[in-house]
Structure 1
Amino acid sequence: MIVVAGDIFIPADKRAACIEASAALQQATRDEEPGCLAYVFSADPCRDDVIVVYELWDDAATLEAHFLHPNYTNMRAKLGQMGITGADVKKYRTDAVGPVYNANGIATAEF
């Protein structure tokens, strides 16, 4: 599995409009692209000039296909039109997945 996560920087007065304008592309990515398990661009509750990115992909092949898909190129164009000033977004390969809470309902870092 691959996680894509990070921050997109945008003037605070444009953030809400940017998130709203990108909602249809977020939904299209979820609905149309095989291997997309999550695709969320949302407001950071602590910084009014940040959009938080969270994506989850089955594997490198599905993420690579996303980078070639019109949803990706249209999202990049939409964000550019809305005035982003920068981004710090990274991808992470995961080697294990497990629940946060164990059978006793206790949060644990164990897998």
Structure 2
Amino acid sequence: CGCNAFPLLNPLIKTAAVVADEQIGFHVSSATKTSASSSPGPAYVFLSKLPAHLKDLGEYDGSGEWFKIGYTGPLNSTTWASFDQKSVKATVPVTTPPGKFLARIEQ
């Protein structure tokens, strides 16, 4: 995750229909990884709209513009809310236009 995580084409990408003001999330489902965040710190959720010249998300390498839709910060002065959690969630802003988007997390 993070800066320079793309370009990465994935023709097998899975999609979900989501509307503005709905919650999206990423959940760990691995026998070897037990949490979505592996180190203390903030977690962010980003979206990137499918460019107009492409038809399917599987064609999109993620090299376009990204915008932040979620942030999970500290619970208190010593504990991060995202640390050792199995999921990271965010609500899609009501101002998000209809269309196809890639989503990613950073932690």
**TM-score, normalization by structure 1:** 0.29
User: Which one has a bigger Cα radius of gyration?
Assistant: 1
* Structure 1 or 2: more helix by fraction: 1
